[in-house]
Amino acid sequence: MNNLFELNEQLITLQFEASSREEVTTYLAERLEAGGYIKSSYLPAVLEREKTYPTGLPLATLGVAIPHTDPEHVNKPAISVATLKEPVVFHKMGSPDETVQAKIVFVLAISEPSKQLVMLEKLMTLFRKEEVMTKLSHMTSYEEATHVLQQELNQ
């Protein structure tokens, strides 16, 4: 299979307890860095970008966030995902004065600008599937979560 990006059980965390968007973003970025997917410059860059270009998205039944930054901070493409026990506040994409209670966070490591649009389109398609997103937000099986995400995002 020719995957657009790496997504495996080591990059997925289920029912994570975080108190802030910085905490969950840092945790997911550290997992990406441990796997060699990103450079040490990634985390400061993604946290800084989030201040100017927030990534919170309200969906029909829950909120999500997709923190990411420029390809120069990425070694190889991957997504690190956390479902949260309790939502954390992200600022809303396109409306930074508004907030979103994010229940699932997808930290994107995009190595080629041309692939960014493809990855975002796949995520938006997934986000429109309310039933899948709700199910994903409650999952406790890493195998099941990995399977669902691979099936939805790496087709």
Helix (H) or strand (E) run with residue 93 in it? none
Q: What is the mean pLDDT of residues 89-95?
A: 96
* Residue 20 phi, psi (nearest 5): -155, 165
Residue-wise pLDDT tens digits, 97-132: 999 999 999 999 998 888 888 888 999 999 999 999
Q: How far apart are CA 113 and CA 76, in angstroms?
A: 12
Residue-wise pLDDT tens digits, 6-45: 888 899 999 999 999 999 999 999 999 999 999 999 999 9
Q: How far apart are CA 140 and CA 68, in angstroms?
A: 25
pLDDT at 155 over 80: no
154 within 8 A of 5, measured Cβ to Cβ: yes
Taking the alpha carbons at both ends of the chain, their separation in whole angstroms is 9
What CATH number has the domain spanning 9-153?
A: 3.40.930.10
Residue-wise pLDDT tens digits, 79-91: 999 999 999 999 9
In one-letter notation, the amino acid at residue 92 is K
Q: How far apart are CA 23 and CA 25, in angstroms?
A: 6
**Domain boundaries along the sequence of the chain:** 9-153
Q: Which two tokens stand for residue 135?
A: 């199910």
